[in-house]
Structure 1
């Protein structure tokens, strides 16, 4: 393989940085699965677009025609070309066109609706295109599971598992002071846009013998919750699940579900 020169490498790194910044600056819209999502698109000048053409497309993983309006003709009144996935679920705001508003509403959203969308005005000079990312997920509709796998000479092995969720969650094990614990590589599988993630760790005695699994998801639109599973036992070989305690945490732009495990370790 041809080696990159220093200047080529710098250009490549600059491209990656600019691309990452562009992705970070792209507007994001978060919606629970089954809800209706409004994808905004409008001119700041509030120019009348009743006789204009605008075209909504989903650009990944492949291009899909979401909704097209052309001077009164559109996919809802006979204009052909709409992708089957969006047929009968997308509408626009007819009374808002005179104010330059080309926003659409996607009804009964599914995980498959997640992705990057463009709202384009191809006949304008210069052509205008707006971008937005839609993330559809089952926020707080899943229940994380924690399991004590057993005790070894190295300590107590704990497993945290979440299944059938979207967006892809990130798991971490932490101690009672919030320090991230070393863990095995997460086991991740995906089917139909939903993820199953398992993370295992081995813990040793601490002052509190209390540990928690943190599950994060991008784009919380709800307040996070803390769920505590108390684990107790007379010895390393008789640990069992006990009572459950639910509390609250401040709102965040991510979902944080903390599963607390208090392990009574006798040595």
Structure 2
């Protein structure tokens, strides 16, 4: 199977009676940020054949994403979800590179894609998993909220996440306050998650409270800190990192 020659690739080997082995290779996993474009890699052995038929499909929903045949892109069977968002270069395809460019990635694009290649040398297929992610672009905020008894508490809020992030509260001493917090993460109509993490503990005006949001596609969590500057309800907010004036 020659797996030792492609440790980062998923190689599936198919044989046809009367033909030699035909290999199609893809990356096992790739990722893309919402709104950007991604290349789903797929290469195959041409053996000199320059007229392949390439079909990209999304597995599970059985949607045709892109078809290339007879040296042309054939979009007659393309699912409407991918209209004007895909590209496959003829020159590359004829040289054994059937990689697909997917533009303006959205949450619904997440899933498994299958690349199938058929030419005079044989037939082969391989799959790639696409992970999609989004990081809140509007920043975090801390608000006052009031419960049914009239008690005020701090609420850490942010939007535009995918997949779900992890949220936590700590004070300036590093104490974990999640036991006295209540978390609510809900999707909006576009599939992005809105986070509200309420600190139900009564605040101490001499303390500082840091809300952190951690996401699997971020190298470091986003933080925001509430500091009481006058001992009353006045809140000063910053990025959650230590500063010299505190």
Q: Same fold (TM over 0.5)?
A: yes
The structural deviation recorded for 1:84 is 1.2
| Displacement of 1:106 | 1.5
Per-residue deviation at 1:190? 3.4
Shift of residue 180, structure 1, vs aligned partner? 5.8
Match of 1:210 in 2: 208
CA–CA distance in structure 2, aligned partners of residues 47 and 134 of structure 1: 32
Deviation readout 1:151-184 (Å, 9 max, x if unpaired):
9x9x973212222433333322234427462122
TM-superposed deviation, 1:81? 0.3
Residues of 1 paired with 2:203 and 2:33: CA distance? Answer: 42
Secondary structure in structure 1 of the residue aligned to 2:81? helix
Secondary structure of 2:93 counterpart: helix
1:82 alignment partner in structure 2: 78
Q: Could you say which residue in structure 2 is the equivalent of 1:36?
A: 37
RMSD of aligned C-alpha atoms?
Answer: 3.7
Across the two proteins, how many residue pairs are aligned to each other?
A: 212
Distance 1:142 1:230, change over 3 A: same
Helix, strand or coil for the counterpart of 2:51? coil
1:104-253 correspondence to structure 2 within 5 Å = 104-121=100-117, 127-137=124-134, 139-149=135-145, 157-176=153-172, 177=174, 179=176, 181-182=178-179, 183-203=181-201, 209-220=207-218, 224=220, 226-235=222-231, 238-242=232-236, 244-245=238-239
Q: How does 1:64-103 map to 2 (within 5 A)?
A: 64-75=63-74, 79-103=75-99
**How high is the TM-score relative to the length of structure 2?**
0.68
Q: CA separation in 2, counterparts of 1:162 and 1:49?
A: 53
Partner of 1:22 in structure 2? none
Q: 1:122 to 1:184 in 2, by over 3 A?
A: farther
110-119 or 174-183: which moved more?
174-183
